Structure 1
Amino acid sequence: MKSKTKSFALLTGSTLIMAVGIYFFKFANNFTFGGITGLAVLVAKSGVISASDFTFIANMILLVIGFIILGRKFAAKTAYCSILLSVCLSLLERVYPLTHPLTDQPVLELAFAIALPSLGSAVLFNIGSSSGGTDIIAMIMRKYTSADIGKALLITDFIITLAGCFVFDIETGLYSFLGLAVRSFMIDGFIESLNLSKYFNVVCNDPTPVCDFINDTLKRSATIVLAQGAFSGEDKYIIFTALNRIEAVKLRNFIKENDPEAFMLISNTSEIIGKGFHSI
């Protein structure tokens, strides 16, 4: 129950962050980068339908198509996030209608238009979900074709962004191209930061105090390997363990205080798969 509650909170919170970034900064400035919401900005220019309502309708249509084509294996998390995002955008439009950007600083607004949705997307991707939209198209393409889906979606995003240069003005279009270029790098950066852990190699004479601290205080485990010093020829022990950043600081300080002669190699890693970390 605790795990499900945490997952639900992450799904909801990250989707709400995306909604704020898209509505207040992306839609308000006519930035056209990024899938369905980028297309929504173009469609809204016609005056027939607002960007929020178009996003709602498009996502609902894609969800129905996804359920029909992909069946029961279609991700429930993606469906929930897609519906929540669409509803939030429509509600924001009615509760807090915007006729102009929040500020007169387009670069500042672009930063938030990139950062907030990227952070939300990174959290969703990290827990095996997405906000729907073009991700549903990607799932369908993956099922029936061998096409390079990443390139196909990138080309689609490029065309939508390019269209913004003609529908709006060249300045808005260039800002959108900048957003398109930065967004993918920022999502990757957020995901790596969210997953960042520390990998320890500790060379020492007596592994017992260190392992006791790891097991009893940090509630983690470790692997001990008997080794031999190349110069001294003396027996040594190497302790391998992986910890999150807070735990890593505690272990580092403990070893410094209790075994100052120990030799530590501490590496950053964002890919640890196993019990206590990420499941396969």
Structure 2
Amino acid sequence: MSTLVTRVAKTLRSYLFLTGGLTLGALGWAGFIIPAGIIGGGATGIATVIHFLTGLDIGAAALAINLFLIALSMRIIGASFGIKTIYAITVFSLLLSLVSRQVTGPILAEPMMAMVTGSILAGVGSGIVFLNGGSTGGSDIIAMVINKYRNISLGRLLLCIDTLIISSSFFLFRSLETMIYGFVCMAILTYTVDLIINGTNETVQFFIFSRRHRELQHHIIHVARRGLTILPGVGGYSGQEVKVLMVIARKSESQVVLRLIKEIDPEAFITMGTVSGVYGQGFDTIKA
């Protein structure tokens, strides 16, 4: 019984944060970016173009686009979309409509300030949505469909699609400045999403080559409180067998590990690199 209560509480908490993220995202788009006449990327960007061309409600346009893309994706590549994604798409569209009806003019008169503020709000909102297993659909669905027939990376496809959407603002407004605002908007939004998702959980990976590997092993486990893996290795030039310590740590803990290595074996050979994601015991859980 207690397990069921815990699962229900965890699910409710996830949907609460999901709704909060969607609210921030809708406020950023419909409260700042769109009233400033700026077109971003994704399905919201396409909906913005349709809104400016026809006057159609921005939320209705975004919902119609996402539903069409989901139906197309399911027919062509058989993609399955979770309940959270359907929930996020629906609620986000409703919130876009609600906010756009309440905000009849730009909250901030200065386009640059409106763009920066809206991009940060939308980025924070999207980051929270992604962290809680949701997605607002959009151009990533188009990219998956094209990727089935053309051997092009999803990242490149997304970049090309968003570039086309934002570039369309030049033909709509005949303003190079507005188009540039759109590209800056997406850069800030993307950076903010990455910061929310990876900023506090950025991890580093050490490969440590040392003759005093046993002593280092003891101190890293018992002093730095980090796990490690011992890998067998052979020197390419010397042919001698060596032990390599692989350590995964939070970026904030990296100085502790480096300090221990310096104290125990200043001549140790070390490589240190940033890891985009670490999942498992002691780190993050997979959210997909």
Q: TM-score, normalised by structure 2?
A: 0.68
Structure 1, gaps ≥5 residues long: 229-234
Q: Which residue of 2 aligns with 1:109?
A: 114
Structure 2, gaps ≥5 residues long: 1-6, 235-240
Of 168, 173, 179, 2:173 maps to 168
C-alpha contact (below 8 Å) 2:205/2:275 kept by paired residues: no
1:132 Cα deviation after fit:
0.4
Q: Which residue of 2 aligns with 1:136?
A: 141
55-64 vs 186-195, which moves further: 186-195
Q: Where does 1:183-262 land on structure 2 (aligned, <5 Å)?
A: 186=191, 190=195, 193=199, 196-202=202-208, 210-212=216-218, 214-216=220-222, 220-224=226-230, 239-252=245-258, 259=264
Task: Give the letter aligned to residue 197 of structure 1.
Answer: T
How far, CA to CA, are the matches of 2:117 and 2:33 in structure 1? 8
Q: Where does 1:15-164 land on structure 2 (aligned, <5 Å)?
A: 15-46=22-53, 48-67=55-74, 71=78, 73-94=80-101, 97-121=102-126, 130-143=135-148, 145-146=149-150, 148=152, 153-164=158-169
C-alpha contact (below 8 Å) 2:57/2:97 kept by paired residues: no
How far, CA to CA, are the matches of 2:135 and 2:242 in structure 1? 48
Q: Which residue of 1 aligns with 2:238?
A: none
How far, CA to CA, are the matches of 1:221 and 1:124 in structure 2? 31
CA distance 1:218–1:10, change in 2 (3 Å): farther
Q: Which residue of 1 aligns with 2:185?
A: 179
Task: Give the letter aligned to residue 35 of structure 1.
Answer: G
1:222 Cα deviation after fit:
1.1
How far, CA to CA, are the matches of 1:263 and 1:10 in structure 2? 45
SS class of match (1:200): strand
Cα RMSD (Å): 4.4
1:29 Cα deviation after fit:
1.0
CA distance 1:238–1:13, change in 2 (3 Å): farther
Task: Give the letter aligned to residue 27 of structure 1.
Answer: I
1:179-208 C-alpha deviation (Å, 9 max, x unpaired): 35x358637854664663122345667556
CA distance 1:106–1:207, change in 2 (3 Å): same
Identity of aligned residues (%): 24
Task: Give the letter aligned to residue 32 of structure 1.
Answer: I
1:209 Cα deviation after fit:
6.2
Aligned length: 272
How far, CA to CA, are the matches of 1:225 and 1:36 in structure 2? 47
SS class of match (2:104): coil
1:80 Cα deviation after fit:
3.2
